[in-house]
Structure 1
Amino acid sequence: MTEHPQHEHPRQAPAQAVTGMVDHVLALAETWTVWDGRPAHVDDRLHTPHKAIRRVADHLIDHLAELEARLAGETPLPDHWHASTTTTAADLAPFTQEDLDEARSRLTRLARIWANRLDALTEHRLDHSPGEGWTFRELALHLEESTYYADAIGDLS
């Protein structure tokens, strides 16, 4: 990663950036149980409720693995996600109340892991992080951009 994300509030609490992003995604996801099965076409990509949840979770996992590896003095493993260019058969499935419940459990827990880890780091460590890449504060603020996937579906109420 060579570019640094640009944010209007660079001193925002990193944990709040992550938990706020997940809150935003889940608020939209609460409206997706009425989804009609037609993918949204945004930025030359197809977006569905399942794909949005998958991409947000993958993004949280990917950067958490990076953060933990760097704290341990390891080189982070490269990711091999297919990212948003791929829409799987599972992405096209109806989004049910049970799917929402699972998404809520999964994303809320991931956000808490992130918040707990970030809150345990000093301000110095957040801004002067080991290894190569964005600082840990920048990583957290970058995760805010995961709202893109949910915003592509939008509020279906």
Structure 2
Amino acid sequence: MTNEIPITDDRPPALVVTAMVDHVLGLAATWTAWDGRPSQVDQRIYTPHKAIRRAADHLIDHLAEVEARLAGHETIADRWHASAITTPADLAPFTEQDLEEAASRLLRLAQLWSDRLNALTPDQLDHSPGEGWSFRQLAFHLAGSVYYADAVGDLSLVHELPAS
């Protein structure tokens, strides 16, 4: 993930966010094959649970920012350690039930983002109130949350045996 100003294009911002969630859940569908060994990327550890947690937290944090700015309030700073820490819960096996919970959570967050972004005018998307990136830029920034899922990767081939 980066803090550089996000580059945007002509895609609808709501579609950018929902495509990110679809990508994360597409990879997560393979994570029940996870063998319990974390991935290390950029000196950080990633697991299926951590990837889901980070994607969801990112959606929540920036949605709170959008809503606060639209209401004319200061945003509450995120004081969490993000991906710098790995919790014991992050190391738990990733089950079908975990996948169902993740899908439920992420799809509902994607719907909230889609509803919010689709309700804004192009001017509101590009000239957003308050301090920070425009809401269009925030949506494109969220697309970078695929990073967490990509760090775990596609585990569908992990348990396949070599051809005889």
TM-score normalised over the length of structure 2: 0.92
Report the 3-state secondary structure (helix = DSSP H, G, I; strand = E; otherwise coil) of the residue aligned with 2:45: strand
CA–CA distance in 2 between the matches of 1:51 and 1:22? 15
| Separation (CA, whole Å) in 2 of partners of 1:41 and 1:25 | 18
CA distance in structure 2 between the aligned counterparts of 1:6 and 1:83, rounded to whole angstroms: 23
Q: Gaps (5+ residues) in structure 1?
A: none
Residue-by-residue CA offset, 1:48-76 (whole Å, 9 max, x unaligned): 00000000000000000000000000010
For 2:134 and 2:10, the matched residues in 1 are separated by: 13
Q: CA deviation at 1:80?
A: 1.3
Matches within 5 A, 1:1-157: 3-7=4-8, 10-157=9-156
Larger radius of gyration: 2
Q: Distance in 2 between matches of 1:49 and 1:75?
A: 33
Tell me the CA shift for residue 45 of structure 1.
0.5
Deviating runs (4+, > 3 A) in structure 1?
none
Q: Give the CA deviation at 1:5.
A: 1.3
- How far off is 1:11 after superposition? 2.1
* Partner-residue secondary structure (3-state), 1:63: helix
Equivalent pairs, count:
154
- Structure 2 CA distance for aligned equivalents of residues 82 and 103 of structure 1: 21
- With structure 1 as the length reference, what TM-score do the two structures score? 0.96
Partners of 2:146 and 2:92 lie apart in 1 by: 21
Sequence identity (%): 68
Secondary structure at the residue paired with 1:75?
coil
Amino acid at match of 2:26: A
CA deviations 1:74-110 (Å, max 9, x no partner) are: 0100011210010000000000000000000000000
